[in-house]
Structure 1
Amino acid sequence: MAGKKDEAIIEKLAEDVKKNNLIDPEYYKLYNVKSGLRNENGTGVLVGLTQVGAVHGYLVDIGEKVPDEGMLIYRGIDLKDIVSGFQKEKRHGYEEVSYLLLFGKLPTNSELDEYKQLLGRSRTLPRSFTENMILKNPCKDIMNKLQRSILVSYSYDENPDDISVKNMLRQSIELIARFPTIIAYGYQAKSHYFDNKSLFIHSPRPDLGTAENILHMIRPDNKYTEKEAELLDLSLVIHAEHGGGNNSAFATHVVSSTGTDTYSAISTAVGALKGPKHGGANLKVLKMIDNIKENINSWGDRGEIKDYLMKILKKEAFDKTGLVYGMGHAVYTLSDPRAIHLKKKANELAQEKGRMEEFELYKSVEELTVELFKEIKGPDAVISANVDFYSGFVYDMLNIPHELYTPLFAAARISGWCAHRIEQVVSDKKIMRPAYKNVIGKREYIEIAKR
């Protein structure tokens, strides 16, 4: 840590840095630059092609964005049909979805069994990895631990830089299998060294799927119910992929276009997901709901809830950003299909756990935010709950520690990231190199004595 004198110097320099890096917003209009890679109507700028996934949330009619029901597509197949398919057969779906994303087709029974066995044999971390990388270097932030562990995995790979499809596929399968182990052990180390709790390092079981292994490894007694495993599996399925335009998938494409190794590309994706604007929003929802609980007298009083939500929107309450977290999305307008699936299961679990009053509070916040949005912006304005609105509540009911919420997102999305990486290397040989307009103009160098 810097001393007081150094802190004062850095604080003064920070003011210069802020002043000399702020670009006048008018320049974006002047040079027709799409800030955030978004068009003026809110649609994303088209920057690439993909077969991995697609996100549908609106139609475009003569340049105008027209709201539509949301759809999430994995390799051309509607997520709704995928979920319906494996749930109807009363089995877990994440491994099937992972196979679909990686290989571009639905597996047969024998192909799925073979893939599950591959993952099962790859879940154990390399020799000495747990001791040297995780236990000797514990971290308060599990996403940081995950990112560093991915980079260190390069050192344990005898052929890390080979970007042939066969080698990238082998690396992808190992990472998909090991992400749950890394985040579980990272959490156990954090719990022990920073929270003074007992240390539990449970070996992954090759006979268990991804969701079951996560619950098996993060819990001291290894115990979980089938309902819990089913719900966590669903959460992994709906988080596995979200098109090439989401920030972490796009980052994977950008870095992979340089020809770099798999570990560098995937660690970049984890770094992108770690940001609160991307993967950490469900924690914000939990904190907001806790704040609402503290400031209303009755969870069932919709009028009181609505009044407090108005204060949040007016930047008078909670974190004073004017945001109702978990509501709204960059693509989805009328609905987020992921939120629909989670809401249904959250209702079932809330009944089982005796937390229906709390579930009804979430529902009221969702419905009243939609009402307020129309009152403030007009009757045609649309907003809907996104996946983050219910996912934090679901994880809380599953007794999953808050520190693991975003890492669980990563453990699901790794399948999509690996699919996007392979697609980029196979399909587009050019390094991504967009243009930036320099707006500072020409300046003269001044000798140091004359400054």
Structure 2
Amino acid sequence: MQTYQIEQFDEKMFDDLSNAAKKSSYVNPELYSKYQVKRGLRDLDGRGVLVGLTEIGEVHSYILDEGEIVQVPGRLIYRGYDIVDLVKGFMKDDRFGFEECVYLLLFGHLPNGKALKEFEQLLAGYQKLPEDFARDVILKAPSKDIMNTLARSVLALYSFDDNADDTSINNVLKQCLRLTACFPSLAVYGYQALSHYHGNQSLYIHSPRPELSTAENILSMLRPDSKYSKLEARLLDLALVLHAEHGGGNNSTFVTHVVTSTGTDTYSAMSAAIGALKGPRHGGANIKVVQMFEDIKEQLKDWNDDEEIENYLSRILTKDAFDRSGLIYGIGHAVYSISDPRAVILKDYVAQLAREKGLEDEFKLYAAVERLAPQVISQSNKMYKGVSANIDFFSGFVYRMLNIPVEMFTPMFAIARIAGWSAHRIEEIVNAGKIIRPAYKSVAPRQTYINLTERT
């Protein structure tokens, strides 16, 4: 058989093939209504289609009153505990909360002091990567996207596990704990490789320290001097807690359920979840918020002028400003309407860090946009429910104040959400459900086969 080099095929050929692929993939939008397809697995009123049951996380945003949806302030529940109460608990005790949150999500109850200390020591023991893993897997093939580095590293860890395909709960729990413990190192080392090999910066590889919390280790490994303030570590820890779980229906967690239902290994399931989270519609939204605010700061003459802010937000909605998408990033959520509890909690602590960093004027601008954007959106768009600031609205600002590079924003989300993914993977295995396989209706017309020599 004759061989060909890819260079022999010109761009016109690929353009023609691309157009053919687009044409053959198009489905008439009217057919979705005709066949009552729940696009995005959501009803027309925005409610998610019920596809499973879980005891791990609950996202609550409305009540039914005589069959009518009544929007209420959002609540986020971890294993029956309101996130507000969980945060107040560890903040009042002046301690870190992420490790306790991981314990709660995995085991369904809050640990006592002895159990929590032992669990923290267990995670610390799992932090160490296999010998030469950072050099051979991460540094020798640096990626320009840390999420890809993270996914590739997770898949590579399969090769270092003698029981990689064992899906017993005992083994899966060990695998999940190892991944939870080493995700910070995988992500940070991926960034250091990117910074060095693609950004021509000095290479810093700091080992995690067993006596530090997850949040402290991230800052210690990320910064050249390993130094951080108490407030910085506390706020990063809070962000991890708020991102750790969001019910079974969010895209990456649902992917975890879908892939786990096939009976595959933990590494494959988690790398698939990482791929889902990488998407800008899911895990990358806070990056767009930061970019949008950089644009707003450049364009506004007076950050305190509500009328000027409203006018610019209107221009964003009409696709005349920023990225011409028509979206005010960080405002609105698929589930929450009146408020996102994560954003409400984070906002108070963001104000404290902004004062410490001398960025109070910028925080006031964020607060003004948070207040005015829902009004502008309601005047411009027909909505079935209200909109409010979501956690992405403030989390990007937090990461920027912590000098976390933008390339690490979505990996930070993954470092937190591995806790929820792990709990949901175990839940899917324990309940031994069927392989998840929703229906797709074919709307293609029937064709008569044509012999090769007769085709035009």
Give yes or no for contact 2:146–2:187 (8 Å, CA) kept in 1.
Answer: yes
Q: Which residue of structure 1 aligns with residue 257 of structure 2?
A: 253
3-state secondary structure, aligned to 2:198: helix
Matches within 5 A, 1:160-239: 160-239=164-243
Pair 1:8–1:290, CA change in 2 (3 A)? same
Task: Report the residue type matching 2:117 in the other structure.
Answer: D
- Name 1:114's counterpart in structure 2: 118
TM-score (norm 1): 0.98
Report the Cα distance in structure 1 between the residues aligned to 2:451 and 2:381, rounded to whole angstroms: 55
The alpha carbon displacement at 1:301 in A equals: 1.3
Letter in 1 for 2:79: R
Deviation at 1:130, TM superposition (A): 0.8
Provide the residue aligned with 2:303 in structure 1.
299
1:356: Cα distance to partner? 0.7
Aligned to 1:100: 104
How many angstroms apart in 1 are the aligned matches of 2:102 and 2:431? 20
Q: Normalization by structure 2: what TM-score?
A: 0.97
* Cα distance in 2, alignment partners of residues 399 and 202 from structure 1: 17
Q: Which residue matches 1:16? A: 20
Question: Deviation at 1:64?
Answer: 3.5
Query: Per the alignment, do residues 373 and 289 of structure 1 end up closer, same or farther by CA in structure 2, a change over 3 Å counting?
Result: same
The one-letter code of the counterpart of 2:421 is W
Equivalents in 2 of 1:330, 1:381: separation in Å? 10
Once the two structures are overlaid, the 10-residue window that deviates more, 373-382 or 93-102, is 373-382
SS in 1 for 2:10: helix
Corresponding residue for residue 357 of structure 1: 361
Quote the offset at 1:3 in angstroms.
4.3
Q: What letter corresponds to residue 160 of structure 1 in structure 2?
A: A
CA distance in 2, matches of 1:92, 1:6: 57
Going from structure 1 to structure 2, the CA distance change for 1:379 and 1:29 (only over 3 Å counts) comes to closer
State whether residues 337 and 385 of structure 2, in contact with CA within 8 Å, keep that contact through their aligned partners in structure 1: no
Matched, 1:415 2:429: no
- Give the CA deviation at 1:373: 2.6
AA in 2 matched with 1:364:
A
- Looking at structure 1, the residues matched to 243 and 191 of structure 2 have their Cα atoms a distance apart, in angstroms, of 20
Residue type of the alignment partner of 1:365: V
| 1:390 Cα deviation from its structure 2 partner | 0.5
1:51 alignment partner in structure 2: 55
Structure 1 residue 344 corresponds to structure 2 residue 348: yes
Report deviation, 1:376: 3.1
Change beyond 3 A, Cα 1:78–1:2: farther
SS across alignment from 1:195: coil
Name whichever of 288-297 and 84-93 sits farther off: 288-297
Cα distance in structure 1, aligned partners of 2:259 and 2:92: 39
Letter in 2 for 1:119: L
Q: Distance in 1 between matches of 2:328 and 2:258?
A: 31
- Separation in 2, partners of 1:70, 1:2: 53
Select the residue among 375, 378, 388 that pairs with 1:374.
378
Any idea what SS the aligned residue of 2:184 has?
helix
SS in structure 1 opposite 2:185? Answer: helix
Per-residue CA distance 1:179-237 (angstroms, 9 max, x = gap): 00101111111111011111111111011110001001011111011110000000000
Q: Paired residue for 1:424, among 428, 431, 437?
A: 428
Residues 373 and 381, structure 1, Cα contact 8 Å, conserved in 2: no
- 3-state DSSP of counterpart to 1:73: strand
- Matched letter for residue 225 of structure 1: S
Alpha-carbon distance between aligned partners in 2 of 1:60 and 1:446, rounded to the nearest angstrom = 56
Is the partner of 2:334 in helix, strand or coil? coil
Deviation at 1:446, TM superposition (A): 1.0
The structural deviation recorded for 1:257 is 0.3
Report what 2:438 is aligned to.
Answer: 434
Query: Per the alignment, in what secondary structure is the counterpart of residue 280 of structure 2?
Result: coil
- Structure 1 CA distance for aligned equivalents of residues 341 and 208 of structure 2: 32
Match of 1:130 in 2: 134
- Considering only aligned residues, what root-mean-square deviation do their CA atoms show, in Å? 1.4
2:115 alignment partner, SS class: helix
Separation in structure 1 between the aligned mates of residue 399 and residue 271 of structure 2, nearest angstrom = 24
Q: Is the 8 A contact 1:374 1:381 kept in 2?
A: no
Q: Where does residue 397 of structure 1 map in the other structure?
A: 401
The CA distance in 1 between the partners of 2:414 and 2:332, in whole Å, is 21
Partner-residue secondary structure (3-state), 2:166:
coil
Shift of 1:379: 10
Shift of 1:4: 8.4
Residues of 2 paired with 1:336 and 1:60: CA distance?
Answer: 19
Check if 1:314 corresponds to 2:318.
yes
CA distance in 2, matches of 1:27, 1:430: 29
Report the identity percentage.
56
1:65 matched residue in structure 2: 69
Check if 1:143 corresponds to 2:147.
yes
Counterpart CA distance in 1 for 2:27 and 2:348 is 45
Q: Secondary structure at the match of 1:66?
A: strand
Paired residues, number:
451
Letter in 1 for 2:160: Y
Mapped to 2, the partners of 1:72 and 1:115 lie a distance apart of 24
TM-fit CA distance, 1:6: 3.1
* Distance 1:92-1:3 versus aligned 2 partners, 3 A rule: same
Unaligned runs of 5+ in 1: none
- In structure 1, what is the Cα distance between the partners aligned to 2:270 and 2:95? 29
- Where does residue 153 of structure 1 map in the other structure? 157
In the alignment, the residues of structure 2 paired with residue 131 and residue 321 of structure 1 have an alpha-carbon distance, to the nearest angstrom, of: 40
Partners of 1:324 and 1:4 in 2: how far apart? Answer: 44
Hey, what's the Cα distance between the residues in 2 that align with 1:41 and 1:15?
34
Q: CA deviation at 1:320?
A: 1.4
1:241 maps to which residue? Answer: 245
1:201–1:217: 8 Å Cα contact kept in structure 2? yes
| Structure 2: stretches of 5+ with no match in the other structure | none
- 8 A Cα contact 1:373 1:382, kept in partner: no
3-state SS, counterpart of residue 276 of structure 1? coil
Task: Please tell me whether the aligned partners of residues 55 and 72 of structure 1 are also in contact (alpha carbons under 8 angstroms).
Answer: yes
Alignment partners' CA distance in 2, 1:399 and 1:106: 32
